Every structure is written in structure tokens, then in C-alpha cells.
Amino acid sequence: MMNIQEQTIEKELTKTITQKDKEKEIIVYNDDVNTFDYVIELLINICDHNPLQAEQCTLLIHYKGKCAVKTGSYDDLEPRCLKLLEAGLSAEIQ
């Protein structure tokens, strides 16, 4: 049986792990290869963006050099990021 201090530490660790897991993001970087329409299509199909959200992210990618396009758990983001990479985008999970 855990004492109160051990229970408090365990709760804080669980809370920290959960928060860090939720804080993961897919970052997509600008390139000179892919068209706006292609990137928009990928964000809609892979990241579940609506058309306006996909267009806004694509503009940020183009003008700022990168954009966080999806936030969530690593387990959710990993297959999405792999699909973006396979489609020719430059992306990573941070």
C-alpha cells in the first residue's frame, strides 16, 4: 500500500505524462516542390482538416516556413506523419 506522498508523486507523474502526450504536434515544413492545392488536399485527407483550416495552414507553411498542422497523442500522430512523408511533404513530430 502506498503512502500519501507516494500517491501524490504517482498522480503528478501520470498527469505530466498525459500532458506531454497531448502536446505532441506534427510540424510541416515549406518546400519548393509541392503545390498549394496538393498540400491542402493532404491536410484534409490525412489530418482531418476542413478546407479553410487546410488553406490557412498551407499559407502559414509557405510564408512562415512551417506550421503545426495537428496536435494529439504520439500514437495518433505517427501514422498521419508517415502518410505525409510518404506523400512527399517534409514533416516531423515534436
Query: How many domains, in total, are found in the chain?
Result: 1
Task: Render pLDDT for 17-56 as a digit per residue (tens, 0 to 9).
Answer: 555 556 899 999 999 999 999 999 999 999 999 999 999 9
Q: In what order do the strands lie in the sheet with 90-93?
A: 66-72, 24-29, 90-93
Instruction: Supply the pLDDT for residue 5.
Output: 72
Q: Is residue 63 part of a domain?
A: yes
Q: Is residue 19 part of a domain?
A: no
Q: What is the pTM of this model?
A: 0.78
Contact 61, 29 (CB under 8 A): yes
Query: Which three cell numbers, joined as nine digits, stand for 23?
Result: 502536446
Q: Is residue 21 part of a domain?
A: no
Instruction: Inform me whether the pLDDT recorded for 66 exceeds 80.
Output: yes
Instruction: Supply the pLDDT for residue 75.
Output: 95
Instruction: Supply the pLDDT for residue 81.
Output: 98
Q: What is the CATH number of the domain that holds 59?
A: 3.30.1390.10
Query: Which three cell numbers, joined as nine digits, stand for 69?
Result: 498542422
Q: Is residue 24 part of a domain?
A: no
